[in-house]
Chains A and B, each alone.
Chain A
Amino acid sequence: MQPILEIRDAVRVFKTPEGGAVRALDGVNLDVDANEFVTLLGPSGCGKTTLLRAIAGFEDLDDGQVRVDGADLRRVPAFRRPVNTVFQSYALFSHMSVARNVAYALEVAGVGKDERTRRAGELLELVGLEGMETRKPSQLSGGQKQRVALARALISQPKILLLDEPLSALDRQLRQQMQVELKNLQDEVGVSFVFVTHDQEEALTMSDRIVVMCDGRIEQTGTPREIYRKPKSRFVANFIGETNMIKVTFDGKGTATSVEGIILKVSEAAPAGRATAVLRPSDLTLSDSKNAPAHAILGKVRQEIYLGAELHYLIEADAGGEYWRVTAKDEGVGFHTGQSVALSYDPDVIHLIEGDA
């Protein structure tokens, strides 16, 4: 099946006021399938918003192509593109009622008043805002504005919905609720969503596929589990959640040795040589050092942080090196600072990133 969105070798260069040039997009290739929820994830300045704006038509590419449904959009102005955007600031028209905001795309397309009213009603029902038709945007809460922006962008049945950090202005609780709602909404309307965020948790929660970007390039593309479990680079491992990264030398046969001499058992197949071992804090199990299992790492507790459901520990290995981060469930028996402990793990969960960097 043909992808709904194809981006080929996209390049966008911005001139800086000092006379330099920044490659906001530096050869980006991306396919998005119909009905897919894809998240562009990366730190600010990584090019994710530029890519989104290039798809929407607010930004020209210096090189490369944006194709929607097979059609090259190079010379197609924003107002004629079959994509719609939900803006970070919502960009609701403050001088119009909620219903007129939602029906705006139909209004400018010349659709009759009755039809507009009917469709606006349907869309408002879809986002759970029935009866709000006559309100003004200024009379809505943040979450409600968000929904109006969604309804407005969906009314002309775009092929792709672009979302530019739409949840960043909401408080944490509402944000989590909206994450679920957005995902459900996407299933319901059957439109491809391209969602931009710098929040890795948001990306993991909603996406079918995550595209991690850095310095105008795509670092890695994959399902949330792939991105979390099998990061291809230290950047990705670092950006997605907390992690322990240990520089090791791998023998190619299941044993990795760190600079400090810590030996790690690894099930993953990888070529021999230098690598970085990635271990998530929740993959490590703490036990008393007296009955340490085989291949355990011995160390001492340096800090414990109580977070309610979870406990976070910083462990200094006896062999030295960086502190290990460990997350444990609060099961009543904690470990105290200074206590000798053993860190054990399942060799299956260790992931190796090849190379020195």
Chain B
Amino acid sequence: MMRRQSLFLASLLSPVTIYLGIFFIGPLAIIAVFSLLEPGLYGGVVWNFYHWNYGRMFGWADGVIEYYEPIYLKILWRSMMMAMFTVIACLIFVYPVTFWVSHLSQKRQMFFMFLITLPFFTSLIVRLYAWLMILKPSGIINDALLWIGIIDQPLDMIFTRFAVVLGMVYVMIPFMFLPVYASVERLDRSLIEASSDLGARGWQTFLKVILPQTLPGIAGGSVIVFIPSVGNFVIPDVLGGAKGLMIGNLVEQQFLDARNWPFGAALSMVIMTVVLTVMLIYALKIMRAGQNVGAS
């Protein structure tokens, strides 16, 4: 009996295991190995151990063939800051809305869910070019502001970091909404009543009960938004220009333009390590905070 059950379980789990084994672990291993190989002259790799790829970022380049440039880590740092702003903006927009939606009738909740997922039905590139139209010097916003007379020169909105964060917030909002909404919906209303019954004012109830109770959703949403934001290259490509360059664009350039695969791979490995570390610390902090938020 046991045996048949475990066989059945294995047959259910093996497709995904094999799939991920080949198509996730495999490429990851290739990237890890490539990051320690010598770049080929016209792309590809030469099978020699070569640590300068990392040296270029961290400062032990020989200064003859490979040059140390602090700009790579700077861009990584900047990308993480932009991703963080994206997370914060998404949270600020989404959190109040989830409470509102969770009070709607079942039917309206379903309708709202449909609205939230509506953008997925159109191509991302098309939507980003729409933003381009909105933000460019002769775009809708500038035209309107010029016409009203608030400004007499078009604002530089497009090809800035601001434009990139704006675009990322726009794209990521549904990913923040779903986990936060799930935790807000689960929130037991009698906890709020109990808190106010015991003498807590609105803000005390929010800080001591509502926030900690919904923290798992906030943490989940933040992680889901942060990770793809850090490494994003499509949105900065369209909206960012030279000033809004992110680490993802750098990786893309190394593989496609500079044809320096090992350096691109090394960049990827660094991004992955840093992001994983940050997320791990964040998750641990949130878990601990969940128990102590508002405690004095």
8 closest A-B pairs by CB: A91-B194, A91-B190, A105-B198, A108-B200, A79-B196, A95-B212, A78-B196, A85-B197
Q: Roughly how many angstroms separate A57 CA and B192 CA in the complex, as a whole number? A: 13
**Is B63 positioned at the interface, with any CB of A under 8 Å from its CB?**
no
Interface string of A80-116 (1 = CB under 8 A from B): 1101110111010111100010001101110001000
Question: Which residue of chain A has its CB nearest to the CB of B213?
Answer: A95
**Is B66 positioned at the interface, with any CB of A under 8 Å from its CB?**
no
A56 and B197: CB pair below 8 A? yes
Q: Roughly how many angstroms separate A85 CA and B197 CA in the complex, as a whole number? A: 7
**Is B193 positioned at the interface, with any CB of A under 8 Å from its CB?**
yes
Residues of B within 8 A of A (CB): 188, 190-191, 193-201, 204, 208-209, 212-213, 290-291, 293, 295-296
Q: Roughly how many angstroms separate A36 CA and B201 CA in the complex, as a whole number? A: 29
Q: Could you list 5 examples of A-B contacts with CB < 8 Å?
A: A58-B193, A87-B193, A89-B188, A108-B198, A156-B199
- Note all chain A residues with C-beta closer than 8 A to B188: 89, 91
Partner of B198, one of A58, A84, A89, A95: A84
B209 and A93: CB pair below 8 A? yes
A89 and B190: CB pair below 8 A? yes
Partner of A77, one of B191, B196, B204, B209: B196
- Note all chain B residues with C-beta closer than 8 A to A12: none
Q: Give the one of B198, B199, B209 with max A CB within 10 A.
A: B198
Q: Roughly how many angstroms separate A89 CA and B192 CA in the complex, as a whole number? A: 13
Residues of A within 8 A of B (CB): 56-58, 77-81, 83-85, 87-89, 91, 93-96, 100, 104-105, 107-109, 113, 152-153, 156
A148 to chain B, nearest CB (A): 12
- Note all chain B residues with C-beta closer than 8 A to A85: 193-194, 197
* Chief secondary structure at chain B's binding surface: helix
B198 and A152: CB pair below 8 A? yes
Q: Roughly how many angstroms separate A160 CA and B211 CA in the complex, as a whole number? A: 30
Q: Roughly how many angstroms separate A93 CA and B294 CA in the complex, as a whole number? A: 13
B197 and A108: CB pair below 8 A? no
Q: Known contacts being A94-B213, A100-B295, A107-B296, is A79 close to B199, with CB within 8 Å?
A: yes
- Note all chain A residues with C-beta closer than 8 A to B296: 107, 113
B295 and A79: CB pair below 8 A? no
Q: Give the one of B194, B195, B204, B208 with max A CB within 10 A.
A: B194
B198 to chain A, nearest CB (A): 4
- Note all chain A residues with C-beta closer than 8 A to B295: 100, 107
Partner of B199, one of A58, A87, A89, A108: A108
- Note all chain A residues with C-beta closer than 8 A to B204: 108
Question: Which residue of chain A has its CB nearest to the CB of B198?
Answer: A105
Q: Known contacts being A85-B194, A87-B190, is A95 close to B290, with CB within 8 Å?
A: yes
A181 to chain B, nearest CB (A): 21
Q: Known contacts being A91-B188, A95-B290, A96-B291, is A108 close to B201, with CB within 8 Å?
A: yes
B201 and A79: CB pair below 8 A? yes
Q: Roughly how many angstroms separate A58 CA and B191 CA in the complex, as a whole number? A: 12
- Note all chain A residues with C-beta closer than 8 A to B197: 56-58, 78-79, 81, 83-85, 153
Q: Roughly how many angstroms separate A95 CA and B213 CA in the complex, as a whole number? A: 7
B188 to chain A, nearest CB (A): 7
Q: Roughly how many angstroms separate A48 CA and B12 CA in the complex, as a whole number? A: 52
Q: Roughly how many angstroms separate A104 CA and B196 CA in the complex, as a whole number? A: 11
- Note all chain B residues with C-beta closer than 8 A to A95: 212-213, 290-291, 293
A78 and B213: CB pair below 8 A? no
B54 to chain A, nearest CB (A): 42
A91 and B196: CB pair below 8 A? no
Q: Roughly how many angstroms separate A153 CA and B296 CA in the complex, as a whole number? A: 21
- Note all chain A residues with C-beta closer than 8 A to B198: 79, 84, 104-105, 108, 152-153, 156
Q: Roughly how many angstroms separate A85 CA and B199 CA in the complex, as a whole number? A: 11
Q: Roughly how many angstroms separate A100 CA and B295 CA in the complex, as a whole number? A: 9
Partner of A87, one of B194, B200, B212, B290: B194
- Note all chain B residues with C-beta closer than 8 A to A105: 198-199
Q: Roughly how many angstroms separate A72 CA and B191 CA in the complex, as a whole number? A: 26
Q: Known contacts being A85-B197, A156-B199, is A91 close to B191, with CB within 8 Å?
A: yes
Q: Give the one of A58, A85, A108, A156 with max B CB within 10 A.
A: A108
Q: Known contacts being A91-B188, A95-B212, is A78 close to B193, with CB within 8 Å?
A: yes
A18 to chain B, nearest CB (A): 14
B77 to chain A, nearest CB (A): 33
A86 to chain B, nearest CB (A): 9
Question: Which residue of chain A has its CB nearest to the CB of B193?
Answer: A58
A49 to chain B, nearest CB (A): 12
Q: Roughly how many angstroms separate A85 CA and B190 CA in the complex, as a whole number? A: 11
B44 to chain A, nearest CB (A): 54
- Note all chain B residues with C-beta closer than 8 A to A78: 193, 196-197
Question: Which residue of chain A has its CB nearest to the CB of B290?
Answer: A95
B191 and A93: CB pair below 8 A? yes
B193 and A80: CB pair below 8 A? no
Q: Roughly how many angstroms separate A104 CA and B294 CA in the complex, as a whole number? A: 11
- Note all chain A residues with C-beta closer than 8 A to B291: 95-96
A84 to chain B, nearest CB (A): 6
B190 and A104: CB pair below 8 A? no
Q: Roughly how many angstroms separate A336 CA and B277 CA in the complex, as a whole number? A: 81
A146 to chain B, nearest CB (A): 14
Q: Give the one of A77, A93, A94, A105 with max B CB within 10 A.
A: A93
A296 to chain B, nearest CB (A): 55
